[in-house]
Structure 1
Amino acid sequence: MKTAIIFIALQVIYLASAYPYNQFPHSNFNVNSLPYTALPEYFSWRDVPGVVRPIQYQGQCGSCFIFASIAAIEGQLSIHFGNHQKLSEQEMIDCLHDGQHYLGCKGGHYSDVFDFARHNGIASAYDYPYNGQQNVCRSQGLGVHGTHVRSYVQLPRDEEMIRNALYKQGPLFISFHAPTGFDQHAGGIFSDYYGECQINHKRDHTALLIGWGSEGGHDYWIIKNSYGTWWGDAGFFKMTRGVNLCGIADDVSYPILY
């Protein structure tokens, strides 16, 4: 039953909303902004208290882009402001609007979330708890201090630069194609078993990149998902690193908070 629900949620996600995200204040990554540092063989932001919040379950709602965006904001809030509050995904489900329609559980782009946070901030999950269905927006005045997004940084399609930025800036928003078998992943290093990503380049899932490692000579990324703790490695998963598997390096960013 849970696997079926996850599959439904995966199918309804569409990552290109009507919002013209190129108009949102953003910048490309400046390679000179992060001087070269010898990086460790293993690193995870889960080892830094407060930066990565516990795994949640998005349910039948196509809200993975909201979970990943909120988690990226939470990481920046924790690292730069020492504020470890859990922020509200439900507020985004209820209130995100692209000018014509409420996005709700229909999917969108991280810029939709960042733009909302730019003007309103994000409410705490305590004030605005998750129920996975679109309801009437009630966000007025609930924004947590420090959650206003000034802009975001778009990273290049270079996994070593992404690793460098991850280490120095914090958890990163990523989007990629989730191929056959992804919804049933039960642990270990996920790979494109059927070669599907070589012919399908549509990015239809988003998550939070939090670290990396190597196992038996196989390099991997560590990623936080929103499918519940029974999925993957207690809700997290490893994905092959170094070959841009399933377009994982194609759309990587992090927000900059006021």
Structure 2
Amino acid sequence: RAPPAGGDDGEISVGQVEWADIDMCAACERYPGFKKYTSENRPDNFDWRDLGAVTEVKNQKYCGSCWTFSTAQDIEGTHFLATGNLTSFSEQQFVACDTYNYGCDGGWMFAAMQYVADFGILVSEEAYPYMGVMMTYNLPTPTCDTDLLNSKLEGDGDDIAHIEGYQMVAMGAEYEDLMATYMLKNGPLSIAINANGMDYYVHGIVGCETIAGSEYCEAGAIDAPSDGDSTMEHTCNPTDLDHGVLLVAYGEQDGVDYWVIKNSWAETWGEDGYYRIERGVNKCGVSNFAQHSVYKKA
């Protein structure tokens, strides 16, 4: 299990919330036809990977930095829609330099987005590669490379992201349907979920047995621990959010609505690094804490 997405006490504190504009369509300049979509007429299946807005699956290793991957990859989508260029941005800048969060000990994506807005830039992964820290060895988080960041502050181009802040998209089950439309019109979304069971996920739609039965969902979709741990039988608690991920797609398969989530545990995990869960029931708290970065012209 990845460490909690939150800080030391795991509590969410967002202060003054700026809510997403339901009519906002960051994708419409590049895809004018998206403007017409609403919750009533959007496609049954949609995937930002098909349109080139999602980078390769990465690996956070033994560092509680899931929040950095969720944030950086949300910004990657925002940058792509604004510029047409898909750039892999630096998680290490967050781990080492973001004083609003806790490095390998966890953090919140909205705070990381605010850090980028306040500092001014997020540099590319190529410029500031991810290191990861073996937490079990009690190694210190690498210090921030301020010289690198300061040298990039006045720059512009495909390898630097600028955002003006973030907007909250969803903070409860009642927002889940709206969240699908917003994602379609504005790019992949940074979300927090409860990660119970993800350690053992292999494939399939988690939760779909409530609709179609375990045989349809393939009983091996989540492998039970070899020691017979019964905790896997418990539904993940939607109010206990402990993992930051990226929402990249939604779909429907034989009557089962689902989300596609990009994880940060390498391509060897899950469905080539991705996770499908039931959509429409706030499974694992998928719609309890969704935020999205807002592009800023340099």
Query: Into which bin does the TM-score normalised by the smaller protein fall?
Result: 0.7 to 0.9
- Residue 106 of structure 1: aligned partner: 105
1:176 maps to 193
Contact 1:17–1:109, Cα closer than 8 Å, also in 2? no
Q: What residue is the counterpart of 1:42 in the other structure?
A: 45
CA distance in 1, matches of 2:99, 2:20: 28
What is the CA–CA distance in structure 2 between the aligned matches of 1:206 and 1:27, rounded to whole Å? 20
What's the offset of the Cα at 1:246? 1.3
Deviation string, structure 1 residues 108-150 (Cα, Å, up to 9, x no partner): 1113321221123111111111111321101323357362221
Change (3 A) 1:240 1:20: closer
Is contact 1:214–1:220 with CA below 8 Å preserved after alignment? yes
Check if 1:152 corresponds to 2:166.
yes
> 2:193–2:241: 8 Å Cα contact kept in structure 1?
yes
Q: Which residue in 2 is equivalent to 1:87?
A: 89
> Would the alpha carbon gap of residues 241 and 253 (structure 1) be closer, same or farther in structure 2, given more than 3 Å must change?
same
2:178 to 155, 158, 161: 161
**Match for 1:55: what amino acid?**
V
1:210 corresponds, among 248, 260, 263, to 248
* Inter-partner Cα distance in structure 1 for 2:79 and 2:233: 39
| Percentage of matched positions with identical amino acids | 29
5 Å matches for 1:1-258?
Answer: 7=1, 10=2, 12-16=3-7, 21-23=14-16, 27-33=18-24, 36-37=37-38, 38-49=41-52, 51-98=53-100, 103-118=102-117, 119-133=119-133, 134-138=141-145, 139-142=149-152, 145=156, 147-156=161-170, 157=172, 158-179=175-196, 181-191=197-207, 194-198=233-237, 201-258=239-296
Contact 2:24 2:185 in 1 (8 A): no
1:20 is displaced (CA, Å) by 6.0
Q: Match of 1:132, SS?
A: coil
Which AA in structure 1 matches 2:150? Answer: Q
| 8 A Cα contact 1:13 1:63, kept in partner | no
Q: By how many angstroms is 1:213 displaced?
A: 0.9
Distance, in Å, in 1 between the alignment partners of 2:8 and 2:151 is 26
TM-score, length-normalised on structure 2?
A: 0.75
C-alpha separation in 2, matches of 1:187 and 1:162: 24
Quick one: distance in 2 between partners of 1:84 and 1:33?
21
Aligned AA (2:66): C
Residue 33 (structure 1) shift: 4.5
Shift in Å, 1:36: 4.9
Alpha-carbon spacing, 1:221–1:155, altered in 2? closer, same or farther (3 Å): same
Provide the TM-score with structure 1 as the length reference. 0.86
Separation in structure 1 between the aligned mates of residue 71 and residue 93 of structure 2, nearest angstrom = 13
CA distance in 1, matches of 2:23, 2:273: 35
- Which of these two proteins has the greater Rg computed from alpha carbons? 2
* One-letter amino acid of the structure 2 residue matched with residue 196 of structure 1: T
Shift of 1:44: 0.3
Deviation of the 1:21 alpha carbon = 3.9
Name which of structure 1's ranges 86-95 and 106-115 shifts more when overlaid on structure 2.
106-115
| Aligned residue identity for 2:169 | L
Of residues 206-215 and 139-148 in structure 1, the stretch that sits farther from structure 2 once superposed is: 139-148
